[in-house]
Structure 1
Amino acid sequence: MTRHERRHAKERRGRRILLWIACWFLLAQIACSLVLDYFWVRVRNPMQAERYARLKARARPPEILFLGSSRFGGDINCEVMDAELRAQLGDRAPRTFNAWLGKGDPTAFERVFTELSQEGYRPKLIVLEVDPAALAGRDNWLYYHAMNLLDWTDVPEAGPALCRNGRILFLVRGRLLPLYLHNDQLRRELVSVVKSQFETPREKVTIDPPIPPPVSADPQPPVQSPEAKQWIQDGYADFSRQLRNYHLQGVTTRRLERLLAQCKEAGVPVLLVGVPVSSPQRRACTPEVNAVFLDYLASLEQRSGCSFTDWRERVPDTYFGDGHHVYPEGGVYFSRRFAAEELVPRWRTNAFAQQ
């Protein structure tokens, strides 16, 4: 073999080695993604796992389940709601549970309801956050779920949608690079597992949070900083971007309709709630966009038997820390009203309260 032939043989061997390294790397990433999808979900979405753990720790399964985004995380104060329900309905009043998730939308809600149903949990009422931007056909938040929630079975549906909105690389990272994407949380979970091997197992205790006295007056809104006032005004531009070229033919609405069908089949009533937002963000929702949004919700009420109530204008701007997230005082303001005006009447008049 000549020197030239030996050099080419070494180059071919080097390329084969690199190809095999790439193949083994890709196979390891795919295997890891399968493990994280079906056996170790906590690494991908620790917040979701924490919600499930708190729900399982309840001695009495909460009758009313809230599913929403971080906006519901601030709006829904379960202590205030439980107190109001107990004050008006007595000792047999239902309890509430807030299972909000970051950037929660029907894509997340469908997964949460399916997994909780598989665990045997069946609430008597589900309260779902809805919002024009979250339901937009642009699927504004799908990229986030591609990294933390979606699995391989979701790729055929989510892939084309993420290609259309220019965020397909988030799905690629979530499916093909999970060890890189979740390396910090993976290390924390591994350390936790190792520590647990040297600790004495503690008996699991189920307990329901105590119900405080009902809130008798609205809290004073906090003094808004200049930054908060600017963030509220910025809500107009942020929301306008999410609502451009508005339509509702996307992954999110398909998943919402599938979720409503599942709830209807399971006999679980659903209340859709237009989530409170600040006035600049409401102005970004043009009359044309709002009409499309409301017409769609009206069609859902007819087709699926759900109900819709609009609370987008019900919380004053002084309770907001940015365009759509309230201060804790805003959560108290909203929760006592929502419990009294929406939950109490429905519990008194609907058959599910007696199930």
Structure 2
Amino acid sequence: MPQTLPRLFAARRPLRTAPRAKRRHARAVVIASLFAIAALSAGLGLAAELYPRIRDPLYGDKLAKLQAKLREPNRGPLVMMLGSSRSIFAFDAGRVEGQLREAGRSTTAFNFGVPASGPITHLLYARRLFRDGTKPDLLLLEILPSMLTDLPAGPQESRWLYADRLTHRELDTVIGLGFDAETVRGRWRESTLTPWYGLRFQLLGRVLQSWIPWTMRHDWSRTTDAHGWSTPMIQTLTAEQRATAVEQARAEYTPLLFDWKPGGPAVEAFRTLLRECRENGVPVKLVLMPEGSEFRSWYSPAVRDRLTAFVRQTAAEFGCDAIDAREWLPDDAFTDGHHQLRVGAEAFSDRLTREVILPWRKEHN
């Protein structure tokens, strides 16, 4: 009996230790996996804060194209347009650049239009550019009236400028301009602490575009030409198609334009942008973009006078020229009364070059 006990214990000891070793190994794998996930999340969150093409591809992709243009040899002064989707489709910067070159005035022209943007977005983007050392020699700044109105629910841009596109230093800016603080900070934390989820649309839009709707891909700036310009996929519309598009625009814009009054955080951001451009030595020309005749009819006479007075007073205060291009184009130059077809972009860009940019270029040879 005494000789049997050691053998029994010896036989059973591996049976007790093997499961224990497996459990230790499993725990180690789980812990290592958690550390790896945390490290990857922290790394992506940090990268998103440092590299705008991750957090805000609408800005980052345009910036990359602009920087490529600025690296070209023998480039001239930089003329840049900053605006909304109206500017994206309207300002054919490559065409402008070519015409100026033919006139013997070498110039770098670039379209920094971004969809659904207004003065708050433009203020943030201008600050980013200035911090990066990119200062246009002439800034063509779009005035989009619907984005400059004071609304009870806060700025129009709060519907599209989400905190997952912002850096930490920009949070207080948008909160101070009427964005909901809890919503802004919550969405930014989500995009920073759990970036694989919080930035999922930016990431999928980069590698798996077909998995998400085109409105969520953040790829507008990636699909432009080298000068930042986009043109609609369709270039001809039937009368019925145009009428449908105009009706959609009417439903969106008439509530904002009929009794339009400038004010609130959007105007504050607009004025701050003009002041900071002046402080950074960046000359600005304000541009009221072309609109079709039916679109213009949605402004009441009082609103038209109010808008004209606002633009004139602002231009005078900040020493800017103001270009009123609202009646520059015929109705068939638009898809929906305010977004231009290629034929509209060509006519607008040619006239803007001839009447605004070339005279400025001659003056600043």
Could you say which TM-score interval applies, normalised by the shorter chain? 0.7 to 0.9
AA of the residue aligned to 1:141: E
Within-5 A mapping of 1:1-355: 35=46, 38-58=49-69, 59=72, 60=75, 63-88=78-103, 90=104, 92-138=105-151, 139-147=155-163, 149-156=165-172, 158-159=174-175, 161-162=178-179, 171=184, 174-178=187-191, 179=195, 180-186=197-203, 222-224=236-238, 226-243=240-257, 246-349=260-363, 353-354=364-365
> Against the structure 1 CA distance between its residues 101 and 173, is the aligned structure 2 distance closer, same or farther, given a 3 Å change threshold?
farther
Q: Secondary structure at the match of 1:322?
A: coil
Give the drift of 1:252.
1.8
> Against the structure 1 CA distance between its residues 172 and 233, is the aligned structure 2 distance closer, same or farther, given a 3 Å change threshold?
same
**Contact kept in structure 2, 1:224 and 1:318, CA below 8 Å:** no
> Against the structure 1 CA distance between its residues 156 and 268, is the aligned structure 2 distance closer, same or farther, given a 3 Å change threshold?
closer
* TM-score using structure 2 length: 0.70
> Against the structure 1 CA distance between its residues 174 and 248, is the aligned structure 2 distance closer, same or farther, given a 3 Å change threshold?
farther
Q: What are the ranges of 5 or more consecutive residues in structure 2 without an aligned counterpart?
A: 1-37, 209-224, 228-234
Distance 1:253 1:283 in 2: 24
Distance 1:173 1:279 in 2: 43
Question: Structure 1 segments of 4 or more deviating over 6 A?
Answer: 30-34
Q: Please say which structure displays the higher CA radius of gyration.
A: 2
What do the CA deviations read for 1:87-107 (whole angstroms, capped 9, x no partner)?
Answer: 33x1x3322111111112121
Q: Secondary structure at the match of 2:141?
A: strand
> 1:11 — aligned with what?
none
Give the drift of 1:150.
3.7
Q: What are the ranges of 5 or more consecutive residues in structure 1 without an aligned counterpart?
A: 1-26, 192-207, 211-220
Of 111-120 and 308-317, deviating more is 111-120
> Against the structure 1 CA distance between its residues 140 and 209, is the aligned structure 2 distance closer, same or farther, given a 3 Å change threshold?
closer
Of 43-52 and 235-244, deviating more is 235-244
Structure 1 vs Structure 2 CA RMSD: 3.1
Give the drift of 1:297.
1.7
What do the CA deviations read for 1:250-282 (whole angstroms, capped 9, x no partner)?
Answer: 222111111111111222210000011222221
Give the drift of 1:306.
1.1
Give the drift of 1:240.
1.1
Distance 1:209 1:71 in 2: 18
> Against the structure 1 CA distance between its residues 228 and 153, is the aligned structure 2 distance closer, same or farther, given a 3 Å change threshold?
same
> 1:19 — aligned with what?
none
Give the drift of 1:73.
0.8
> 2:31 — aligned with what?
none
* TM-score using structure 1 length: 0.72
